């Protein structure tokens, strides 16, 4: 048996980049995958369709759904469709996020940019977790993986809204882990130490050398490991993934001393 045979995973922001890599890795591990994305028309629709085909070729079932995680109605529809299609949700990967193209000090930051960043990156995590928890509570098992960023602890000038949103994601992770430990639901955060080598990042930082960038597949491998965890084995932690070539990670969590660069196998 593959490690996630018989389980169903919902991945948001799955049409490209980190989300796509995680969705494929979960399918390769045996999970049925619900891949959700906001831009699921035009190129986005084609990306979701090709993702479905790739996961099915791995021997897992897959369905792609359009939805905006910042909208309560969209999230409820996605979760309802996932439960109708597969009967359960064992894994939630909250990956959908925006990295605004602005670079401005707080005094000059458009309010609309602040609102969109917090709505997608933080409200979206809240809405998705809230929507899947009733089914996870009922089956007394589940794993929630919230994709964070190094910006949660080391935000750069001009990117305050993004850093605030990811810091909020980690605080939500640690608090929720404590709330649902009694029903055997693990809640953890996953973050690249630096930029991740995706098309959007390459377009945003075209002059930066990419030899030390984190690869999406490196994040996906850790996401699969986290998907297998329970409240008894590993919960309430943030795992920071460095550039390719190492299998050691920085792990920290609520109420724990930091554990610099430990192995996760």
pLDDT digits (tens, 9 = 90+) for 128-137: 999 999 999 9
Distance CA 258, CA 204 (A): 32
Under 8 Å between Cβ of 147 and 18:
yes
| CA geometry: angle 112, 113, 115, nearest 5 deg | 65
Distance CA 20, CA 37 (A): 10
Structure tokens at 6: 């018989």
Under 8 Å between Cβ of 34 and 65:
yes
DSSP run (H or E) holding 56: helix 43-57
**Confidence category of residue 246, pLDDT binned at 50, 70, 90:** low
pTM for the predicted model, two decimal places: 0.91
| CA geometry: angle 249, 250, 252, nearest 5 deg | 135
Condensed to tens digits (0 to 9), the pLDDT of residues 204-228 reads 666 776 767 788 889 999 999 999 9
Q: In what order do the strands lie in the sheet with 32-37?
A: 62-66, 32-37, 8-12, 91-94, 142-147, 185-192, 237-241, 248-253, 259-263
Average pLDDT over residues 98-117: 87
Under 8 Å between Cβ of 96 and 36:
yes
**Confidence category of residue 260, pLDDT binned at 50, 70, 90:** very low
**Confidence category of residue 7, pLDDT binned at 50, 70, 90:** very high
Residue 191 β-bridge partners: 240
Catalytic status, residue 162: yes
Using the structure block, give the residue that is written with the tokens 């329970």: 230
Least confident of 29-38, 60-69, 165-174, 237-246: 237-246
Output the average pLDDT for the chain. Answer: 89
Whether the per-residue pLDDT at 157 is higher than 90: the answer is no
pLDDT cut 90: percent of the chain above it: 69
Check the CA dihedral 95-231-226-234 and report its sign. Answer: positive
| CA geometry: angle 51, 63, 144, nearest 5 deg | 90
Under 8 Å between Cβ of 237 and 253:
yes
**Confidence category of residue 72, pLDDT binned at 50, 70, 90:** very high
| CA geometry: angle 143, 17, 115, nearest 5 deg | 80
Neighbours of 116 (CB within 10 A): 16
pLDDT of residue 126: 98
Query: Catalytic one among 99, 102, 162, 252?
Result: 162
pLDDT cut 70: percent of the chain above it: 85
Using the structure block, give the residue that is written with the tokens 């929507």: 131
């Amino acid at each position: 048996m593959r490690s996630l045979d018989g389980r169903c995973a919902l991945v948001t922001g799955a049409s490209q980049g980190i989300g796509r890599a995680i969705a494929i890795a979960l399918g390769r591990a045996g999970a049925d995958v619900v891949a959700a994305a906001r831009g699921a028309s035009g190129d986005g629709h084609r990306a979701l369709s090709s993702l479905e085909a790739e996961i099915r070729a791995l021997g897992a079932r897959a369905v792609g759904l359009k939805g905006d995680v910042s909208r309560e109605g969209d999230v409820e529809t996605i979760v309802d469709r996932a439960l109708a299609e597969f009967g359960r949700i064992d894994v939630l990967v909250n990956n959908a996020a925006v990295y605004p193209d602005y670079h401005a000090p707080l005094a000059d930051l458009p309010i609309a940019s602040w609102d969109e960043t917090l709505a997608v990156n933080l409200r979206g995590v809240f809405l998705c977790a809230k929507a899947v928890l009733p089914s996870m509570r009922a089956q007394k098992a589940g794993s929630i993986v919230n994709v964070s960023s190094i910006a949660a602890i080391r935000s750069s000038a001009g990117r305050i809204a993004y850093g605030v949103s990811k810091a909020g994601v980690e605080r939500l992770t640690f608090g929720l882990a404590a709330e649902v430990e009694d029903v055997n639901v693990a809640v953890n955060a996953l973050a690249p130490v630096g930029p991740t080598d995706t098309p959007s990042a390459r377009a945003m930082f075209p002059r930066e050398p990419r030899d030390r960038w984190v690869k999406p597949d490196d994040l996906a491998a850790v996401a699969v490991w986290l998907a297998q965890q329970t409240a008894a084995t590993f919960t309430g932690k943030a795992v920071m993934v460095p550039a390719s070539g190492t299998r050691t990670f920085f792990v920290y969590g609520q109420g724990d001393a930091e554990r610099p660069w430990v192995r996760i196998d």
